[in-house]
Structure 1
Amino acid sequence: MNIAKDRILIFGAGVVGSIYALRLAQYGVDVTVLARGERLKDLQHHGLRYNDSGTIKHISIPTIEQLADDDIYDFILVPVRYDQAESALAVLKNNQSQTIVTLTNTVGYDAWLDLVGDRLLPGFPGAGGDLKNGVLYAQFSTEKHQGTIFGEIDGTQTERVTQLAQLFKLVDLHYDIQSNIQAFHISHTAIAIANKHFYTKDGIVDIDTARNEQTLLQIATAIKQNLRLVEQAHIPIIPAETKILTEWSDSQIISLYQQMLNDAFIMDAILGDHAVNQKAETLLLQEAFNQTLARQVY
């Protein structure tokens, strides 16, 4: 199959979906975005607007509001939050496309498999950014282990995995084919849910509180506790960059976060206006993480 002629659907035009749509479109890939509401209108009227080194540019990308069951794509990418994934896959349940790539946090796939079966190809995004006044501010990973992660649940190297890798290579996106994708997701969740200490009852903490050593100590403690639970469940901690945190002291982890919180881009991602939406995802992930590991241990 000619990878350059693959039909790709991005399900959702949020930050991550817009970033993948932008990169694919820039390389001439046949990409369509499913969007709704004001975001759909904005894309239709202005194209996908993005910041390019301080200059606002735009690119025209086909959009749809609804997906017909017989509108078939080679890959459907689903870059949504964990708390949105099940409802998104329910929409795709009857569509006849054969590969649905989820790019999100999770700890398991049972509910997703019930909806879309073996069409599911789990993954994790390798890009981030923000949408401000309809303009996309994108940042792509420059390291393989931080690129787009994906892999079959059983770890096999299938034709569709190879095809997706070729597509990402074509558009110059770093990627990593993961042979134990569930272990990766559980390991990543162990880190992600520690960030719950950045959230308050009503939203997110202010910058000073986020940088406070007491807040960061809570996060460091939670990370090490969560990773110990993963080890006790006999689940591999993946990748090595995550596993090494089990050997770090609290002060080393605090120092890492202090460096991260001095980066304006990371700061905006963690504490920006849109970050409040991550609170629901984090709390659901915390519950799923605890339940999953409890089943593994007992």
Structure 2
Amino acid sequence: MSTKQDRILIFGAGVIGSMYAIKLIEAGCEVTLFARSYRYKSLRENGLQYMDNGTVRSLKVNVIDTLEDDDVYDYIFVTVRYDRSDSALLALKDNQSKNIVTMTSNSRGFSSWLNIVGDRLLPAFPGFGGQIKDGVLHARFLPKIIAATAFGEINGVMTERIENLAKIFKTAKLPYVIKKDMEAYLITHSVSDIAMLSFLQTENKIIDKKTVEARNTARKITVSLKAHLKAIQKAGVVIDPPMLKIVLHLPNFILDFFFMTWLRTKMVRDMMLPDYANNANNEIVQLSNDLVKFLSQNDIKIKT
């Protein structure tokens, strides 16, 4: 299948959706962005604005704020936060497109998503991040060994739609990896996020710089991450990526040093900005609550 024939809807015009839109448009795909309120207006009036080597550029993009059931796409990428995933899928329930790619975390498994969209579901996870400031996308790309878009069938089988999606990503020069166990991958990623991002807020307030840089904050992340990884492993979840298994065997002081260094990076400073911190907190709370429910099915509690 030629990428020029691929019709793609990106449901969610935030950081992740905008980044995929840029890459896929450049690859020749027919891309439409679904956006709401101020983001829809901004995209209509200014195009998709993004920072490129210090220069703000604008890319013309087709944007809609209403989706008809018979408006069919080869793939719909759902690029919303986890706490908004159910409502997004419900909005797509009656649309006739056959492939719905969920680009978000998941700490509970796929049963609720399958109940909404059935076997159209294709779980995935984005391979980059960033933020939108004053309507301009500031992308943050990481080396493929650290972050690549992951996707795969729930049953791990290689299908035609997986092969076609891989071709699209290859043409768009987007690093990707095909996973045989997306549930394990997403749950592992969720516990990493829960451990590493829960520190953003304390007592309903965004954490301050002094507290961030305290060794005690790094130790909390270390203890939390180990406890969460042990819990999901006990529940029969295969830790993926496998390199995270090393965390369980490293002395705490080594992990403390790693997290103390990470907590001083620009990435973390950006995460402390109100919009990001508040939105991230909503997602982390939902991920954490659903993980507890998932573990409770196996009578497992997280011991910190």
Shorter-chain TM band: over 0.9
Residue aligned with 1:129, SS: strand
1:197 CA displacement: 2.5
Match in the other structure for 1:139: 140
Match in the other structure for 2:12: 12
**Structure 1 CA distance, aligned partners of 2:203 and 2:23?**
37
Match in the other structure for 2:183: 182
**Structure 1 CA distance, aligned partners of 2:29 and 2:179?**
24
Deviations 1:130-183 (A, max 9, x none): 100000001223214511111111111111111111111111111111101001
**Structure 1 CA distance, aligned partners of 2:256 and 2:145?**
25
Question: Is residue 63 of structure 2 the alignment partner of residue 72 of structure 1?
Answer: no
Match in the other structure for 1:122: 123
Q: Is the 8 A contact 2:3 2:28 kept in 1?
A: no
Superposition pairs of residues 254-265 of structure 1, within 5 angstroms:
254-265=256-267
| TM-score, normalization by structure 1 | 0.96
Residue aligned with 1:70, SS: coil
Q: Which moved more, 1:102-111 or 1:142-151?
A: 142-151
Question: Is residue 199 of structure 2 the alignment partner of residue 197 of structure 1?
Answer: yes
Number of residue-to-residue matches in the alignment: 297
Superposition pairs of residues 104-119 of structure 1, within 5 angstroms:
104-107=104-107, 108-119=109-120
Deviations 1:60-118 (A, max 9, x none): 00001111101011110011111000000000000000000001111211111111000
Stretches (4+) displaced over 4 A: none
1:212 maps to which of 207, 214, 234: 214
Structure 1: runs of 5 or more not aligned: none
Structure 2: runs of 5 or more not aligned: none
Residue aligned with 1:33, SS: strand
**Structure 2 CA distance, aligned partners of 1:22 and 1:176?**
20
Change (3 A) 1:74 1:124: same
**Structure 2 CA distance, aligned partners of 1:26 and 1:201?**
44
Q: Which moved more, 1:208-217 or 1:68-77?
A: 208-217
Q: Is the 8 A contact 2:89 2:113 kept in 1?
A: yes
1:244 CA displacement: 1.7
1:283 maps to which of 276, 281, 285: 285
Match in the other structure for 2:169: 168
Q: Is the 8 A contact 1:145 1:175 kept in 2?
A: no
Match in the other structure for 1:267: 269
Q: Is the 8 A contact 2:200 2:281 kept in 1?
A: no
2:239 maps to which of 234, 237, 245: 237
**Structure 2 CA distance, aligned partners of 1:163 and 1:37?**
33
Identity percentage of aligned residues: 39
Deviations 1:43-75 (A, max 9, x none): 011101110010111000000111110101111
1:253 CA displacement: 1.8
